Amino acid sequence: MNEQLEIDWEIIQNTIDACMICKDDRALFPVDPPPVRPWNPGLPGRLLFVSEAPPESGGFWHVKSEDHLRRNVSELLSLAGLRLPAKPYKQEALQNFLNANFFLIQTIKWPIQKGSFNKLGPAEKRRLVEHSVIHLEREISLISPTGILAMGNAAWDACLKLNCGNHLLPDAGVETVRGKDYKIELKQGLIPLNVTFLPVNQNMNRSEQRSHILVDLAHFLNLHQWYCSRKVS
């Protein structure tokens, strides 16, 4: 365990919990207590999933919540060939997720009032993403991922904002840009980047969307074959 990383990670998460810009944004729901924040990443160099926003019930990292995103990600990873023993609603499932060298952070740090990023207007989307990338940049700097899978339009829009180099990313929606390999240039260098639909709600209920997500995830894992073949006990 990297003690300095643990300290720095806690500072970042406490800053998010106290962020008045987030809490005062009318598009967000500042629940009390705050959503359960990501566990300490422990070590840098993980494969990173970036999702949309936590639900009011607590989110992906809330052990006591039957989080749909965690359930679906676990199911998709299993279908893609990675062994993640344990029911998705148990603490062991999250520990297995970490043991497999994965991590997940949300683009927007508080629940969205309208329930989904795609239901917001253009100005609301732009405002939320422009502020959220301040938090994201600090988190990603500590995680130092070896690859990123952006899940959904909020995550993809954030990647467009975070990209700081000459490797341009296409400014279009997920349905247009998925299925291709990109690189995002961050302060720590170029990182492989892929994109897929957010694996929740209608995206998982529609057979075509679900199939696309599974294909995209399998491709992402295959790009990092060491992870795909790894067994988790």
Tens of pLDDT along 98-115?
A: 988 999 999 999 999 999
Q: What is the pLDDT of residues 13-65, one digit of tens each?
A: 999 999 999 999 999 999 999 999 999 998 899 999 999 999 988 889 998 88
Q: How far apart are CA 81 and CA 108, in angstroms?
A: 30
Query: Residue 1: which pLDDT band, with cuts at 50, 70 and 90?
Result: low
Chain position carrying tokens 């000459």: 166
Query: Residue 4: which pLDDT band, with cuts at 50, 70 and 90?
Result: confident
Q: How far apart are CA 41 and CA 13, in angstroms?
A: 12
Q: How far apart are CA 11 and CA 211, in angstroms?
A: 39
Mean pLDDT of the chain: 90
Torsion sign over Cα 16, 20, 23, 26: negative
> Taking the model in full, what pTM does it have?
0.93
Lowest-confidence region among 62-71, 116-125, 136-145, 189-198: 62-71
Predicted pLDDT of residue 3? 80
What H or E segment, with its residue span, contains residue 90? none
Q: How far apart are CA 73 and CA 233, in angstroms?
A: 18
Q: How far apart are CA 192 and CA 76, in angstroms?
A: 20
24 burial via Cβ count (<10 Å: 0-12, 13-18, 19+): exposed
Q: What is the pLDDT of residues 35-47, one digit of tens each?
A: 999 999 988 999 9
Q: What is the pLDDT of residues 164-206, one digit of tens each?
A: 877 789 999 999 999 999 999 998 889 999 999 999 988 999 9
H-state helical runs in 18-152: 20-23, 68-79, 91-99, 122-143
